[in-house]
């Protein structure tokens, strides 16, 4: 039985770290593609030389073109410019939309049956671009955001309460931006809702910090954005698909009459398995939270509409 192939487009901090996580998890052979000459080849060689120390047994290659990506089971798209201090995710729209369009066009020529996982920002709009350009069904085009946002929420709760992150389950839905929707009601510590473990003002403070989690790291780094946690989140999605785990994870997907939304890309709980997005998992939302989700989805739609003014897709 041949090993799975995962191609990572963009070998910067996020892409290279994703390749590392995929190799360590031994999910399949990894191909890194980047336009910078020799850089992906150098990083791939470095990762291969790490294998004898760590013990993973997969092939990692670097390339400046797409031939080596042919027949990929999953393609993770991390290409694009990163956020800089003071820059919103939306500021990246024009530049990254053109990049994701071009990458998607090249990827689908070599791997027409692949599953696309988009990591590039502004996330929801970039998933929309990949979906439009590829023509793939919604099952095979998704974005990594909810896993990361939920992980941030869990990390902040763990730090607040001094408990293991393993005991914490969280859901963050909506667009990957300042109006994302962390669900306090469905966020638990060993099964106990966080609303019963801390006062409302602390819950609200952690929700605010989660919404600003990316910007907080951008401000601290000064020259780039987060990459360890986004890479780990993308790798978890790859694992759920390649191992057919049927895991419920929040991902950016095309809503088709779920949660009263239709035709818009937004973060929702999905069941990830070998078919990609196998089901959108519907949970009961209070009216106020449902309104927040619809507001967030509305902002994503505005961004997607703006894409059409900037590029032809």
Residues designated catalytic? 176
Please name the residue that has the structure tokens 């089971």. Answer: 73
d(CA 199, CA 274): 41
Residue 98 in contact with residue 133, Cβ under 8 Å? no
DSSP annotation of 70: T
Q: Which residues contact 276 (CB under 8 A, 6 or more apart)?
A: 115, 139, 140, 142, 241
CB atoms inside a 10 Å sphere around CB 132: 16
Question: Which of 124, 142, 129, 128 has its CA nearest to residue 103?
Answer: 129
Residue 122 in contact with residue 301, Cβ under 8 Å? no
d(CA 263, CA 253): 10
Question: Which of 111, 168, 115, 109 has its CA nearest to residue 141?
Answer: 115
d(CA 135, CA 130): 8
Residue 273: strand pairing partners: 276
Residue 115 in contact with residue 71, Cβ under 8 Å? no
Residue 85 in contact with residue 219, Cβ under 8 Å? yes
């Amino acid at each position: 039985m041949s090993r799975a192939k995962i191609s990572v487009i963009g070998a910067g901090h996020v892409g290279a770290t994703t390749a590392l996580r995929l190799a360590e998890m031994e999910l399949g052979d990894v191909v890194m593609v980047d336009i910078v000459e020799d850089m992906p080849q150098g990083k791939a060689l470095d990762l291969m030389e790490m294998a004898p120390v760590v013990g993973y047994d997969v092939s990692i290659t670097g390339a400046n073109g797409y031939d080596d990506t042919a027949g990929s089971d999953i393609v993770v798209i991390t290409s694009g410019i990163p956020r800089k201090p003071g820059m919103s995710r939306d500021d990246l729209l024009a530049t990254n939309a053109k990049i994701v369009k071009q990458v998607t066009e090249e990827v689908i020529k070599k791997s027409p049956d692949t599953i696309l996982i988009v990591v590039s920002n502004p996330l929801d709009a970039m998933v929309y671009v990949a979906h439009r350009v590829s023509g793939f069904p919604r099952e095979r085009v998704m974005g990594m955001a909810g896993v990361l946002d939920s992980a941030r929420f869990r990390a902040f709760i763990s730090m607040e309460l001094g408990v293991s992150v393993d005991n914490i389950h969280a859901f963050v839905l909506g667009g990957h931006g300042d109006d994302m929707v962390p669900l306090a009601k469905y966020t638990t510590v060993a099964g106990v809702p966080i609303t019963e473990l801390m006062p409302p003002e602390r819950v609200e403070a952690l929700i605010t910090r989660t919404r600003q989690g990316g910007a907080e790291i951008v401000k601290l780094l000064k020259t780039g954005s987060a990459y360890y946690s986004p890479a780990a989140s993308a790798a978890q999605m790859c694992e759920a698909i390649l191992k057919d785990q049927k895991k419920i994870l929040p991902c950016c997907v095309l809503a088709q009459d779920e949660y009263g939304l239709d035709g818009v890309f937004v973060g929702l709980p999905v069941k990830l398995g070998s078919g990609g997005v196998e089901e959108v998992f519907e949970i009961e939302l209070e009216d106020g939270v449902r309104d927040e989700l619809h507001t967030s989805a509305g902002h994503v739609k505005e961004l997607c509409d703006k894409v059409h003014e900037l590029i032809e897709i």
